[in-house]
């Protein structure tokens, strides 16, 4: 995923995700008493119609923050939402009350459920998080910066799957194919692994002339090898009890001689392309699978066979890390994001966003907001 970033500063704190208790929604609209439409089936999910009053926290969300993400989706809207985009753009300067009233007039909320769930049964799933790393890098290989990030090799299409991570590090044929394809060099192999898992990131690059600039590296291709979690490998080996990134990094610090073995447990590697980062681009994250820039705290990755890209979604999740009741946009996907009630929350860029994303794993409910 681009997987795997705004209404907030991307280098500042992670989005404010604490919500207050629900209050009654006052929109000035007539009561929501019209007959509900029938349930819909969307790929792997069933959508069950509900009243707007069933959406937790509807009256409290700062909808103008979500509108930034929605106007981004309108750069590449799907057929269901394209007719609404003129209104969406017009309402970008509207009040929360005006935006909420328009949604209630034009959209119907549906609770997202697995097809296997009993009608009216539990529709609880899983919320995780992802982020855009910010990493120091060098344009040239030098002491302290020995870990390369590669562009796509010229012969990638000639071999499916391409070489594994271990073969890339050891086989002369693989090394020759990547020679001269280095974008930059990192200091820490774990940072490189995180960057490949997230699918994109920002590099603070020291150029050969001593100058520095920030660039973005984005997913370009992979070696088509299966992804294997190094955290799962460490747990299975009985080497750690905490499979989070802080737990992995603590083990790495104590066992530097086994880091290469751990990395080779994941045969998948990612190749990148470098992108310039304008001041406007810097306010948003990388482009998700929908093809639009992600918004911290307002973009999610979903299973596209359950929720189409560009769909506004009401998200509710309460747990030890965050309490969320807010409007988000389905703008990305990822290899681990499978199932009807499954989402990856884009936390933003940098260390704080990474800490939030790394700890986030808690129950989830989703409602799609679909045109009437």
pLDDT in tens, 320-359: 989 999 999 999 998 789 999 999 999 999 888 988 988 8
The pLDDT tens digits for 213-235 are: 999 999 999 999 999 999 999 99
Residues 231 and 149 in one domain: yes
- Domain assignment present for 29: no
- Other CB atoms closer than 10 Å to residue 242's CB: what's the count? 13
Percent of the chain residues past pLDDT 90, beyond the cut: 75
Asked if pLDDT for residue 372 goes beyond 60, the answer is: yes
Residues 97 and 159 in one domain: no
Could you tell me the two tokens for 84? Answer: 């609404």
- Domain assignment present for 343: yes
Q: How many domains does the chain have?
A: 2
Give the model's pLDDT for residue 25. Answer: 42
Give the model's pLDDT for residue 354. Answer: 87
End-to-end CA distance of the chain: 31
Give the model's pLDDT for residue 32. Answer: 78
The CATH code of the domain that includes 289 is: 2.40.40.10
The pLDDT tens digits for 23-77 are: 344 444 446 778 899 999 998 899 999 999 999 999 999 999 999 999 999 999 9
Length of the chain (residues): 372
Asked if pLDDT for residue 14 goes beyond 80, the answer is: no
Exposed/middle/buried for residue 227 (C-beta within 10 Å: 0-12, 13-18, 19+) = middle
Residues 83 and 140 in one domain: no
- Domain assignment present for 10: no
How many H-runs (helices) and E-runs (strands) does the chain carry? 10, 15
Buried residues in 346-367 as b, exposed as e (16+ CB within 10 A): bbbbbebbbbbbbbbebebbbb
**Out of 11-15, 113-117, 236-240, 242-246, which region has the weakest mean confidence (pLDDT)?**
11-15
- Domain assignment present for 70: yes
Q: Is 167 helix (H, G, I), strand (E, B) or coil?
A: helix
Split at pLDDT 50, 70, 90, the class of 119 is: low
Could you tell me the two tokens for 154? Answer: 């010229």
Find out whether 134 and 216 touch, Cβ atoms under 8 Å: no
Residues 137 and 274 in one domain: yes
Which is nearest to 300 in space by CA: 20, 93, 13, 17? 17
What Cα–Cα distance (Å) separates residue 4 from each residue in 7, 201, 315?
18, 8, 19
Give the model's pLDDT for residue 95. Answer: 94
Phi, psi values for residue 221, rounded to 5°: -170, 170
Residues 149 and 256 in one domain: yes
The pLDDT tens digits for 124-157 are: 899 999 999 899 999 999 999 999 999 999 999 9
The boundaries of the domain holding residue 364 are 40-130+283-371
The pLDDT tens digits for 295-324 are: 999 999 999 999 999 999 999 999 998 999
Peptide bond into 161 cis (omega under 30): yes
Residues 81 and 124 in one domain: yes
Could you tell me the two tokens for 163? Answer: 């070489």
- Domain assignment present for 100: yes
Asked if pLDDT for residue 8 goes beyond 70, the answer is: no
Split at pLDDT 50, 70, 90, the class of 368 is: very high
Could you tell me the two tokens for 324? Answer: 């969320």
Could you tell me the two tokens for 322? Answer: 């965050």
Split at pLDDT 50, 70, 90, the class of 122 is: low
Residues 244 and 276 in one domain: yes
Find out whether 46 and 309 touch, Cβ atoms under 8 Å: no
Q: Say how far apart CA 340 and CA 113 lie, in whole Å.
A: 6
Q: Is 353 helix (H, G, I), strand (E, B) or coil?
A: helix
Find out whether 314 and 93 touch, Cβ atoms under 8 Å: no
Domain closes at, from 281, 303, 329: 281
Residues 243 and 291 in one domain: no
State the greatest distance between any 2 C-alpha atoms of the chain, in Å, as a whole number.
71
Residue where the block lists tokens 């929720």: 307
Residues 51 and 77 in one domain: yes
Exposed/middle/buried for residue 147 (C-beta within 10 Å: 0-12, 13-18, 19+) = middle
The CATH code of the domain that includes 189 is: 2.40.240.50
Residues 276 and 323 in one domain: no
- Domain assignment present for 21: no
Split at pLDDT 50, 70, 90, the class of 107 is: very high
Q: Say how far apart CA 42 and CA 180 lie, in whole Å.
A: 46
Which is nearest to 311 in space by CA: 47, 117, 14, 25? 47
Q: Is 220 helix (H, G, I), strand (E, B) or coil?
A: strand
Exposed/middle/buried for residue 154 (C-beta within 10 Å: 0-12, 13-18, 19+) = exposed
């Amino acid at each position: 995923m681009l997987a795997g970033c705004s209404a907030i500063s991307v280098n500042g704190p992670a989005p404010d995700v604490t919500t207050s208790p629900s209050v009654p929604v006052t929109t000035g609209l007539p009561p929501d008493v019209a007959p509900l439409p029938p349930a819909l089936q969307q790929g792997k999910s069933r959508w069950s119609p509900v009243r707007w009053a069933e959406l937790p926290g509807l009256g409290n969300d700062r909808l103008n923050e979500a509108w930034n993400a929605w106007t981004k989706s309108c750069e590449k809207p799907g057929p269901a939402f394209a007719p609404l985009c003129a209104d969406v753009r017009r309402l970008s300067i509207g009040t929360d009350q005006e935006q909420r009233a328009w949604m209630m007039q034009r959209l119907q909320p549906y609770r997202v459920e697995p097809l296997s769930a009993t009608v009216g049964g539990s529709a609880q799933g899983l919320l995780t998080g992802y982020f855009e790393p910010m990493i120091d890098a060098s344009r040239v290989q030098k002491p302290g910066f020995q870990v390369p990030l590669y562009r796509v090799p010229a012969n990638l299409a000639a071999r499916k799957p391409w070489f594994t991570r271990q073969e890339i590090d050891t086989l002369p044929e693989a090394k020759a194919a990547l020679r001269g394809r280095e974008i930059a060099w990192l200091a820490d192999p774990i940072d490189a692994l995180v960057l490949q898992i997230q699918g994109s990131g920002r590099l603070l690059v020291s150029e050969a002339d001593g100058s520095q600039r920030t660039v973005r590296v984005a997913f370009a291709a992979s070696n088509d090898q299966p992804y294997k979690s190094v955290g799962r490998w460490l747990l299975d080996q009985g080497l750690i009890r905490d499979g989070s990134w802080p737990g992995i990094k603590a083990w790495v610090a104590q066992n530097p001689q086994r880091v290469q073995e751990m990395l080779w447990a994941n045969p998948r590697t990612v190749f990148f392309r470098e992108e310039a980062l304008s001041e406007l681009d810097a306010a948003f994250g990388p482009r998700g699978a929908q093809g639009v820039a992600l918004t911290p705290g307002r973009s999610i990755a979903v299973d596209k066979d359950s929720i189409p890209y560009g769909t506004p979604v009401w998200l509710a999740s309460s747990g030890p890390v965050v309490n969320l009741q807010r409007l988000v946009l389905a703008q990305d996907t990822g290899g681990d994001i499978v199932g009807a009630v499954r989402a990856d929350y884009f936390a933003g860029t940098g260390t704080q966003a990474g800490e939030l994303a790394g700890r986030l794993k808690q129950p989830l409910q989703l409602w799609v907001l679909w045109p009437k």
